[in-house]
Amino acid sequence: MPLLEVDDLQAHFRTADGVVRAVDGVSFTVDEGETLGIVGESGSGKSVTAMSIMRLNPSPPCHYAGGRIRFRGRDLLGASERELRSIRGNEISMIFQDPTTCLNPVLTIGDQIAEAIRTHERVSRREAMRRAVRTLDEVGMPSPARRARDYPHQLSGGMRQRAMIAVALARRPKILIADEPTTALDVTIQAQILELLGQLKSAYGMSIIMITHDLGVVSQIADRVLVMYGGKAVESGTPKQLFQDPLMPYTWSLLRAVPRLDSEVAPEPIGGHPPSLADESPGCRFAPRCRFADDRCTRTEPVLDHKAEGRLAACVHTADAFRELAGALDDAEAGR
C-alpha cells in the first residue's frame, strides 16, 4: 500500500463567475521514502492539490466534489477536524514559499518549534525548547541556541527558511510537503536548502512532495515527477524520462521554454494563456496552445493513461506518433 494515495481528487471553488475546477480529477501515489515533484505553470492546481492533502483550503469557497485522499489507509477527506489536527504537523507537515508570512512575528523561533512539539506530545516547556534547539542544529542553523531566542525579523531569508523547516520537522513527519520552498531565495541558498531537504529525507526516512514551477529543482531532488496543467495531471515519469523523452505536448513545451547553457537555441515561450478553470469546453485544455493539436484534441478530453515503458501521459497521440511529430518539428526548425 502506498504511504499516500490521491485518487480522482476534485477540489472546486464556488465564485461569482461560476465553479472554478482548480483540481479536476488528479490521481497519484507517494511511497515510503519517495520524493514526488509536482510541476506546472502558476494556476495549474499544484498548490491547491498540496493544500487539499492537509485539508487547508478554506471551506467555503472550496468544496471537494469527488475523489479520495488516503494516508496510511485513512481517508483524509472524510476525517473529522480532531483527526486532522492529530495529523497536521505531526505525520504530515508543510513548508511554504515565504516564511515571513508563516512564522509568527511575535514569538521567538524556539517558542514556535517548541509549540509544534507540545501540540502533539506531553513534554515540559524546557524539554520542548531543548528539542527545538536540537532541531535547529539538524537543519543547519548557525548558533542554534542563540537563534532559538531570535524573532523571525532578526534572521536572514535563508535562516528563516531553515527555521520554517525546523518547525515542520519538529515531530519527524512521514510526509513533508514543500510548496515552492526555494523561489524567494538566491541561487546559492536555494542549492543549500535542496541539499538540506535531501539530507533530512535520508536521516528521517520521510517522503517529500515538492511543489514547484522550476524544472531544475525537480531534476535535483525528485524520484518521480507529476506534470499538471489546467487543474489536471497530464504526464508522469522519472525526471530522466520526462526531460529526455516527453510524451505530452505541454511537457515538451515546458522544456523548450527553459534556457540551456549547452544549447545555442533560444528558449521558446509557450504561446497563448492558461485556460480558465471555470470553462467546461470539451477537449484537451492545452489544445489552444499546442503545436500538434488536431480535430481530435478539441473534441476528446484525454486522460492520464499508460504509454510506452510504463509512462503515463494525457494525449490523444500515441507515444510513437508524438515522438515522430516532435522530431519532425525539431528537424524542420534546425534546418531553417
Q: 73-123: per-residue pLDDT in tens? A: 999 999 999 999 999 999 999 998 888 888 999 999 999 999 999 999 999
pTM of the model: 0.93
* CA-wise closest residue to 53 among 86, 92, 80, 25: 92
What percent of the chain has pLDDT above 90?
Answer: 78
Local structure of residue 85 (DSSP, 8 states): H
The whole-number pLDDT of residue 88 equals: 93
For the chain, the average pLDDT equals: 92
Least confident of 29-33, 245-249, 251-255, 265-269: 265-269
> Is residue 331 predicted with pLDDT exceeding 90?
no
**Does residue 263 have a pLDDT over 70?**
no
Residue 41 pLDDT > 70, yes or no? yes
Residues 301-320 pLDDT 10s: 999 999 877 789 999 999 99
The pLDDT of residue 221: 92
Alpha carbon separation from 178 to 51, 99, 214 (Å, rounded): 11, 12, 13
pLDDT > 70: percent of the chain: 98
254 pLDDT tier (thresholds 50, 70, 90): very high
Q: Closest Cα partner for 226 from 257, 204, 248?
A: 248
Using alpha carbons, list the distances in angstroms from residue 166 to 120, 148, 158, 313. 15, 11, 12, 36
Per-residue pLDDT at 185: 80
User: 331, 303, 322: which is closest to 249 by C-alpha?
Assistant: 322
Q: CA nearest 37: which of 254, 259, 235? A: 235
Confidence of residue 262 (pLDDT cuts 50, 70, 90): low
CA-only gyration radius of the chain, Å: 21
Q: How confident is the model over 130-158, as a mean pLDDT?
A: 95
The arithmetic mean of pLDDT across residues 16-30, rounded, is 93
pLDDT band for 336, please (50, 70, 90 cuts): low
Q: If you average pLDDT over residues 202-230, what whole number do you get?
A: 93
